């Protein structure tokens, strides 16, 4: 069954701020990862429609010191580019004072280099572009008061020439663009097409007002003129099921046609609409009219993204889908399966409706949590052969039901199903053991949404041991439910 690219993400789940580059007939895409490590997931595709995760860019302590970042801090909005046989990812670690860094790799699956850090460029969303003379320009969303002296003014788009080989900047930042007047001009990317340099930006903020704007210049450093049709793409003030669309990147296909990746969300439920998967990656087509880009969302996807997986942790290194808000990932258990520690071991939720199963030793003290952040989660905790469902919403925490479990191995269950109230979904928790499958509690999903919790991330499914001794997880299984 084909699917409409306007409504279906090409990379569903918490994969925001997409940036893409092409090398030959392969495309490489990176996303923000915030407090989760390893950081910056990287995907590969041959057609921009079907993507496979190759790995993560920041996998070592020397690249992204562990220890945990606060929710929605950490690693923001990377850009990926390729030049002379080398991949470059430039990003921001907001934990370290909004530090802009560059890492490089020959093989996009890694290993990636240790970061080159450019201090003194306070801001987010860096981009790299090279002019005809091979000079490299780092363009970013500047939050530095010195560049936007009016107190409370909007961020500006600034630029500096950098020498990547020497790891230094060659000048002080220059303001090259102030946006078209909407909130938060950010997410800049620069491209050369014919005689023009194009500066693509996000504006309006990453909520319902989000939009994509463009300006152009004959020179990489400006002066830029705004497109007459700005914003060139937005879903603001529409009833379209995908909202918050913005933060885009363009790429040219081998045949000379262009495409755009952008972020969007899928809110559900009663007003104001609740999105729970974070910001997801979508694909559009770009036509050029009078040397300006025009966005079309009429592409058709061959199939729904393949998000189902099972994992019995047979290999020493976890699949790159596994991340942790605390850094360290667990290793194999001597008896087979996974030796889970007290740090959360998590995967991004990918679908609107889904089921997740974790098969664990009945003697294990272990919890399976649906988490939006540290303050917004529901979990089922198994201890001494009894399963308890708990909820935390902001400062309030409660136990909402329990059941005992029998047999050697018990399966902890959680499903996202149709909402019974006005939320986006219900989350129901249960156990499957030697006796039967039993549901313990169903909770309104809105409290694990961005509209309630705030921030930039989406839901993850997190396992952790409740005691200092490692808990054995035999296997896990994730399946999308329905075909929404
Ligand atoms: C990102 C900014 C944005 O740095 O959200 O949607 C911020 N756009 O450009 C966090 O992802």
Q: Is the CB of 77 under 6 A from ligand 1?
A: yes
Enter the tokens of residue 429.
């928790």
Cα separations in angstroms, 312 against 8, 307, 336, 367: 29, 16, 8, 18
Phi, psi of 447 (to 5 degrees): -75, -10
With a 6 Å cutoff on the Cβ, whether 415 touches ligand 1 is no
- Is the pLDDT reported for residue 474 higher than 90? yes
Q: For position 326, what pLDDT does the model report? A: 81
Q: Band the pLDDT of 153: cuts 50, 70, 90.
A: confident
**For residues 107 and 86, what is the distance between their CA atoms, to the nearest angstrom?**
8
Q: Is the CB of 209 under 6 A from ligand 1?
A: no
pLDDT interval class at 484 (50, 70, 90): low
The per-residue b/e assignment along 323-357, b for 16 or more CB within 10 angstroms, e otherwise, is: bbbbbebbeebeeebbbbbebbbbbbbbbbebbbb
**pLDDT confidence of 61, banded at 50, 70, 90?**
confident
Active site residue 379: no
Average pLDDT estimate for 386-408: 96
User: CA-CA distances (angstroms) from residue 276 to 320, 357, 370, 461, 464?
Assistant: 22, 20, 11, 12, 21
CA 339, 340, 343, 347 dihedral sign is positive
Residue 268 has pLDDT above 90, yes or no: yes
pLDDT above 90: residue 145: no
Higher local confidence (pLDDT), 3 or 19 = 19
Name the token pair of 449: 């949404």
Q: How far is the CA of 173 from the centre of ligand 1 (A)?
A: 21
d(CA 130, CA 116): 17
Distance 306 CA to ligand 1 centre (A): 26
Backbone angles phi, psi at 266, to 5 degrees: -120, 85
Q: For residue range 211-266, what is the model confidence (pLDDT) as tens digits? A: 999 999 999 999 999 999 999 999 999 999 999 999 999 999 999 999 999 999 99
Hey, how many other C-beta atoms are within 10 angstroms of the C-beta on 105?
Answer: 18
Mutate to test the pocket of ligand 1, among 33, 77, 210, 231 (most ligand atoms within 8 A of CB): 77
CATH architecture of the domain 3-301 equals 5 Propeller (2.115)
pLDDT tens for each residue of 413-435:
999 999 998 999 999 999 999 88
| CA 16 to ligand 1: nearest atom | 11
The answer to which of 309-318, 326-335, 401-410, 444-453 has the lowest mean pLDDT is 326-335
Is there a contact between 69 and 107 (Cβ–Cβ < 8 Å)?
Answer: no
Judging by DSSP bridges, how do beta strands 345-348 and 300-301 pair with one another? unpaired
Paired tokens of 374: 């540290």
What percentage of the chain has pLDDT greater than the value 70? 98
DSSP 265-299: E--BSSTT-B--S--EEEEEEEEEETTEEEEE---
pLDDT at 150: 72
Ligand 1 in contact with 245 (CB < 6 A)? Answer: no
438-457 b/e (C-beta count within 10 Å ≥ 16 → b) = eebbbbbbbbbbbbbbebbb
3-state secondary structure of 94: helix
Ligand 1 centroid distance, CA of 134 (Å): 28
Backbone φ and ψ of 337, nearest 5°: 85, -155
Q: Is the pLDDT of residue 483 over 80?
A: no
pLDDT band at 459 (very low <50, low <70, confident <90, very high): very high
The proportion of the chain whose per-residue pLDDT surpasses 90, expressed as a percent, equals: 86
Q: pLDDT at residue 66 above 80?
A: no
Angle 289-290-294 from CA coordinates, rounded to 5°: 30
pLDDT score recorded for residue 303: 84
Per-residue pLDDT reduced to its tens digit, 336-373 = 889 999 999 999 999 999 999 999 999 999 999 999 99
Res. 97 pLDDT band, cuts 50 70 90: confident
d(CA 379, CA 361): 17
With beta carbons less than 8 A apart as the criterion, state whether 41 and 28 touch.
no
CATH domain 309-480 topology: Jelly Rolls (2.60.120)
Q: 11 pLDDT exceeds 90?
A: yes
Clarify whether 17 is annotated catalytic.
yes
Band of the pLDDT at 167, cuts 50, 70, 90? very high
Residue 149: predicted pLDDT:
72
Residue 321 has pLDDT above 60, yes or no: yes
pLDDT score, position 304 = 83
* Pair 401, 388: CB distance under 8 Å: yes
187 CA from centroid of ligand 1 (Å): 7
Q: What are the residue boundaries of the structural domains of the chain, listed by start?
A: 3-301, 309-480
């Amino acid at each position: 069954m084909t699917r409409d690219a306007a409504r279906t993400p090409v990379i569903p789940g918490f994969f925001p701020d997409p940036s893409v580059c092409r090398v030959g007939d392969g495309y490489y895409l990176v996303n923000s990862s915030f407090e989760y490590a390893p950081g910056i997931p990287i995907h590969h595709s041959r057609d921009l429609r079907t993507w496979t995760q190759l790995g993560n860019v920041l996998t070592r302590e020397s690249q992204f010191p562990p220890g945990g970042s606060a929710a929605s801090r950490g690693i923001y909005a990377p850009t990926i580019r390729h030049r002379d046989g080398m991949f470059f990812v430039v990003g921001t670690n907001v934990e370290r004072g909004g530090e802009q860094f560059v890492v490089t790799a020959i093989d996009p699956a890694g290993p990636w280099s240790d970061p080159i850090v450019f201090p003194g460029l306070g801001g987010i969303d860096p981009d790299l572009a090279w002019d005809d003379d091979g000079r490299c320009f780092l363009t970013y969303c500047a939050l530095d008061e010195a560049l936007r002296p009016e107190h409370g003014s909007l961020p500006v788009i600034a630029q500096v020439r950098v020498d990547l080989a020497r790891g230094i900047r060659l000048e002080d930042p220059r303001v090259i663009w102030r946006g078209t007047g909407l909130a938060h001009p950010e997410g800049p990317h620069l491209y050369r097409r014919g005689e023009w340099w194009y500066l693509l930006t996000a504006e309006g903020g990453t909520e319902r007002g989000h939009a994509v704007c463009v300006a152009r210049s004959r020179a990489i450093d400006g002066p830029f003129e705004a497109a007459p049709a700005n914003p060139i793409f937005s879903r603001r003030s529409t009833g379209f099921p995908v909202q918050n669309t913005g933060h885009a990147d363009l790429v040219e296909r081998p045949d000379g046609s262009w495409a755009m990746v952008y972020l969007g969300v899928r809110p559900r439920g009663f007003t104001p609409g609740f999105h729970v998967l974070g910001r997801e990656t979508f694909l559009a087509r770009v036509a050029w009219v009078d040397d300006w880009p025009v966005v079309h969302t009429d592409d058709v996807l061959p199939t729904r993204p393949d998000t189902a997986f099972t994992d019995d942790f047979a290999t020493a290194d976890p699949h790159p889908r596994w991340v942790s808000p605390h850094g360290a990932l667990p290793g194999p258990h001597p008896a087979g399966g996974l030796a889970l520690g007290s740090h959360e071991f998590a995967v991004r939720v990918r679908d609107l409706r889904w089921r997740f199963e974790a098969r664990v030793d009945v003697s294990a003290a272990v919890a399976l949590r649906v988490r939006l952040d540290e303050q917004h989660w529901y979990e089922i905790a198994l201890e001494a052969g009894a399963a308890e469902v708990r909820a935390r919403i902001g400062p309030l925490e409660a136990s909402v039901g329990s059941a005992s479990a029998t047999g050697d191995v018990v399966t902890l269950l959680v499903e996202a199903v149709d909402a019974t109230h006005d939320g986006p979904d219900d989350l129901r928790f249960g156990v499957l053991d030697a006796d039967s499958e039993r549901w313990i509690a169903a909770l309104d999903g809105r409290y694990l949404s961005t509209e309630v919790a705030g921030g930039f991330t989406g839901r993850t499914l997190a396992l952790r041991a409740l005691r200092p001794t490692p808990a054995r997880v035999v296997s896990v299984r994730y399946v999308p439910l329905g075909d929404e």
